[in-house]
Amino acid sequence: MLSIVRACAIVGLDGFIIEVQTDFNPRATIPTFTIVGLPDNAVRESRERVRAAIKNSRMQFVNKTYVVNLSPADLPKHGPAYDLPIAVGVLAATDQVPLESVERALFMGELSLDGSVRHIKGIMPMVYSAYQEGFERVYVPVDDAAEAGLIDGIEIIPVASLGQLVEHLYGLQPISPYVAPPSSDNGQASVPDWIVDFADIKGQEHVKRALEIAAGGNHNVRLNGPPGVGKTLLARAMPGILPRLSNEEALEVTRIYSVADMLQSGQPLMHTRPFRAPHHTISQAGLVGGGTIPKPGEVSLSHRGVLFLDEINEFSSKALEVLRQPIEDKSVTISRAKGSLTFPANFLLVSAQNPCPCGYFGDPVKPCICTPTMIARYQSKISGPLLDRIDIHIDVPRVEYDKLMSAERGELSAQVRERVERARERQRERFADYPGLFANADMGAGEIQQLCILTAEARQLADLTVRRMQLSARAYHRVLKLSRTIADLDGKNLIEVHHIAEAIQYRPRMQPTG
Ligand SMILES: Nc1ncnc2c1ncn2[C@@H]1O[C@H](COP(=O)(O)OP(=O)(O)OP(=O)(O)O)[C@@H](O)[C@H]1O
Ligand SMILES: [Mg+2]
């Protein structure tokens, strides 16, 4: 007898419907259980889990010949998510589950030997593709029901065990579909405690201003300063001043974390913007994604959030160079023999560094002990093209003792965020006819010309600057984009002279030469 049950595979970030065809031959003399259709080891081992789970759920596993084909056969299948559909397929092929009850439904879940159904990764994109393909319901592990419930328009049946599922399929003890609890916080989950509040960082007003501009137009930032002045602290405050995640963005981010199996239990939807701070020993694949089963890397895990490269000079040049493409394209493409995969990677890059190996070059208090050659070599580790993709370069000096000790609290992150959100709103309105543009940093040369309109006085200053500082066309465009954001924060439609003047300050300073 033949049964057909549907399951789902994950390719990149997308779900792909798989047909689990089970052929049972009761007349065979030699008992076998074969799985074909490019299963990996975890899928192949599912035979043992399925066999034990069926027996331990007080059903029969007839020791005859089974052939399970996972179709399409040329798509590699990974992981334990096929346990449940294979078990249901075996039961349906041996008449222990009514065939019609598995129609128009999708099954997913790992099985324990005792028959209980366990969590799997990638639930959300799987349920989404089930919804898109017009399935009526999905059977998911009970632990993953809340994540599945993020997708509207499809019935979610939370399954605790194989035995419970069979009783449901026979209509003996129907499982009630999952209903999402009314959201108590309207998506405004409490701020995680690792986010530093601007109010707790003393002094550094000009750096806070630069970070506000960075958040206001999604510009990449480089912080440069001696040890212990608060660079890491300032970077950690970034997620608190960035605009709140819209529902659409939250789902986008959740999808990536679902596939990477990094969603926190009890919190199916990502409410806060990601903040990723990979260690400088990270490999190229860890940074941009890869592996035999391509997994999203740090650039994708920080999609719609912040990628913080602390001590950027310590990263290998190779790792830094592979960042260039995702910064430019806002996505990353991983090529494999069997085709290529694209992961989103639209992040705000914040990098921090010391100015020299000893850390005190330019510090007014502690003398620097490095030679000019050492300093030049240290600074040249970040290549020109990468520096060129960073809009805001800012020095973080040491804070005076009185300021550090004062009990006075500065402006709260929430207040800064209000201004950032207003500036982003202006950008959204301006970009209404420009699909793909979300923030000023995304503008290309054409858009800059159309959308960065200067007052006569501002144009004069811009012309003068280009001539005096011998700015390249790209550097000039960068100044215009930044001043567009500064004007947006100021609530102005035209870019004025002081907007340009401020933007020029964020250009990189000349590096010392040996
Ligand atoms: N402006 C500040 N306000 C309040 N605390 C500060 C400030 N600057 C530094 N600190 C304190 O000093 C500690 C070290 O700061 P942080 O780690 O941010 O320095 P850093 O600039 O990243 O140094 P490094 O170059 O060594 O990485 C912080 O954890 C905090 O306790
Ligand atoms: Mg630091």
User: What percent of the chain has pLDDT above 90?
Assistant: 65
* Of 317, 252, 246, residue with least CA distance to 287: 317
For ligand 1, what atom is nearest to the CA of residue 234? Answer: 18
Residue 243 pLDDT exceeds 80? yes
Task: Answer yes or no: is the C-beta of 277 below 6 A from any ligand 1 atom.
Answer: no
Question: How far, in Å, is the centroid of ligand 2 from the Cα of 283?
Answer: 20
**Position 420, amino acid:** V
**Position 510, amino acid:** M
Q: At 347, is the secondary structure helix, strand, or coil?
A: coil
Report CA dihedral (143, 164, 180, 119) to the nearest 10 degrees. 20
Band of residue 217 on the pLDDT scale cut at 50, 70, 90 = very high
| Average pLDDT for 227-231 | 88
Q: Which residue's alpha carbon is at the smallest distance from atom 5 of ligand 1?
A: 201
Residue 149 pLDDT exceeds 80? yes
In 337-472, beta strands by DSSP E? 339-344, 348-353, 392-395
* Of 320, 304, 282, residue with least CA distance to 238: 304
Task: Answer yes or no: is the C-beta of 218 below 6 A from any ligand 1 atom.
Answer: no
Residue 74 pLDDT exceeds 50? yes
Task: Answer yes or no: is the C-beta of 385 below 6 A from any ligand 1 atom.
Answer: no
Residue 470 pLDDT exceeds 90? no
pLDDT of residue 511: 47
Task: Answer yes or no: is the C-beta of 355 below 6 A from any ligand 1 atom.
Answer: no
Ligand minimally distant from the alpha carbon of residue 225: 1
Among 103-117, 354-368, 393-407, name the most confident range. Answer: 103-117
Q: Which residue's alpha carbon is at the smallest distance from atom 8 of ligand 1?
A: 230
Q: Which two tokens mark 460?
A: 């004069």
Mean pLDDT of the chain: 90
Question: How far, in Å, is the centroid of ligand 2 from the Cα of 228?
Answer: 7
Residue 496 pLDDT exceeds 90? yes
Question: What is the Cα–Cα distance from 409 to 412, expressed in whole angstroms?
Answer: 8
Question: How far, in Å, is the centroid of ligand 2 from the Cα of 66?
Answer: 59
Question: What is the Cα–Cα distance from 36 to 71, expressed in whole angstroms?
Answer: 9
Task: Answer yes or no: is the C-beta of 354 below 6 A from any ligand 1 atom.
Answer: yes
Question: How far, in Å, is the centroid of ligand 2 from the Cα of 181?
Answer: 41
344 to 9, 174, 305, 332, 347: CA distances (angstroms): 19, 40, 12, 6, 9
Render pLDDT for 162-211 as a digit per residue (tens, 0 to 9): 999 999 999 999 999 999 887 655 445 566 777 889 998 888 899 999 99
Question: What is the Cα–Cα distance from 142 to 463, expressed in whole angstroms?
Answer: 64
Q: 334 and 300 in contact (C-beta within 8 Å)?
A: no
Question: How far, in Å, is the centroid of ligand 1 from the Cα of 229?
Answer: 5
Q: 495 and 483 in contact (C-beta within 8 Å)?
A: yes
**Position 469, amino acid:** M
| Average pLDDT for 288-301 | 89
Q: Which residue's alpha carbon is at the smallest distance from atom 27 of ligand 1?
A: 227
Band of residue 319 on the pLDDT scale cut at 50, 70, 90 = confident
Q: Which two tokens mark 33?
A: 């259980």
Q: What is the CA radius of gyration of the chain?
A: 28
Tokens 């040249």 belong to which residue?
380
37 Ramachandran zone, left/alpha/beta (phi>0; psi -120 to 50) = left
| Average pLDDT for 237-251 | 92
Band of residue 46 on the pLDDT scale cut at 50, 70, 90 = very high
Task: Answer yes or no: is the C-beta of 309 below 6 A from any ligand 1 atom.
Answer: no
Task: Answer yes or no: is the C-beta of 199 below 6 A from any ligand 1 atom.
Answer: no
Q: Give the chain's largest Cα–Cα span.
A: 92
pLDDT of residue 469: 84
Q: Chain centroid to CA 223: how far?
A: 23
pLDDT of residue 514: 32
Residue 86 pLDDT exceeds 60? yes
pLDDT of residue 385: 81
Tokens 């510090």 belong to which residue?
363
- Sign for the pseudo-dihedral over CA of 283, 289, 295, 296: positive
Residue 466 pLDDT exceeds 70? yes
**Position 509, amino acid:** R
Question: What is the Cα–Cα distance from 458 to 499, expressed in whole angstroms?
Answer: 8
Q: Which two tokens mark 65?
A: 């010949």
Q: 99 and 3 in contact (C-beta within 8 Å)?
A: yes
For ligand 1, what atom is nearest to the CA of residue 235? Answer: 18
Output phi, psi for 406, to 5 deg: -65, 145
Question: What is the Cα–Cα distance from 81 to 76, expressed in whole angstroms?
Answer: 13
Q: Which two tokens mark 199?
A: 């109010």
Task: Answer yes or no: is the C-beta of 233 below 6 A from any ligand 1 atom.
Answer: yes
Question: How far, in Å, is the centroid of ligand 1 from the Cα of 502?
Answer: 26
Task: Answer yes or no: is the C-beta of 227 below 6 A from any ligand 1 atom.
Answer: yes
Under DSSP, the state recorded for 210 is H
CB atoms closer than 10 angstroms to residue 189: 14
Band of residue 509 on the pLDDT scale cut at 50, 70, 90 = low
Question: How far, in Å, is the centroid of ligand 1 from the Cα of 485?
Answer: 28
Question: How far, in Å, is the centroid of ligand 2 from the Cα of 387?
Answer: 19
321 to 284, 315, 334, 382, 394: CA distances (angstroms): 9, 10, 15, 9, 22
pLDDT of residue 251: 93
Question: How far, in Å, is the centroid of ligand 1 from the Cα of 392?
Answer: 20
**DSSP H helical segments within 226-270, as ranges?**
231-236, 238-241, 247-259
Question: How far, in Å, is the centroid of ligand 1 from the Cα of 320?
Answer: 25
The length of the chain in residues reads 514
* Of 215, 250, 228, 439, residue with least CA distance to 349: 215
For ligand 1, what atom is nearest to the CA of residue 310? Answer: 27
For ligand 1, what atom is nearest to the CA of residue 354? Answer: 25
* Of 317, 282, 292, 480, residue with least CA distance to 302: 282
Output phi, psi for 68, to 5 deg: -110, 125
198, 205, 229: residue to mutate for ligand 1 pocket, most atoms within 8 A of CB: 229
Q: Which residue's alpha carbon is at the smallest distance from atom 30 of ligand 1?
A: 230
For ligand 1, what atom is nearest to the CA of residue 203? Answer: 1
Tokens 């089963």 belong to which residue?
293
Render pLDDT for 96-120 as a digit per residue (tens, 0 to 9): 999 999 999 999 999 999 999 999 9
3-state helix, strand, coil in the chain (%, to 5): 40, 20, 40
Task: Answer yes or no: is the C-beta of 501 below 6 A from any ligand 1 atom.
Answer: no
Residue 433 pLDDT exceeds 60? yes
197, 233, 311, 403: residue to mutate for ligand 1 pocket, most atoms within 8 A of CB: 233
Output phi, psi for 437, to 5 deg: -100, 125
Question: What is the Cα–Cα distance from 22 to 45, expressed in whole angstroms?
Answer: 16
pLDDT of residue 3: 95
Question: How far, in Å, is the centroid of ligand 1 from the Cα of 398?
Answer: 9
Tokens 């923030």 belong to which residue?
439
Q: Which of 179-188, 226-235, 277-286, 298-307 is the least confident region?
A: 179-188
| Average pLDDT for 409-419 | 91
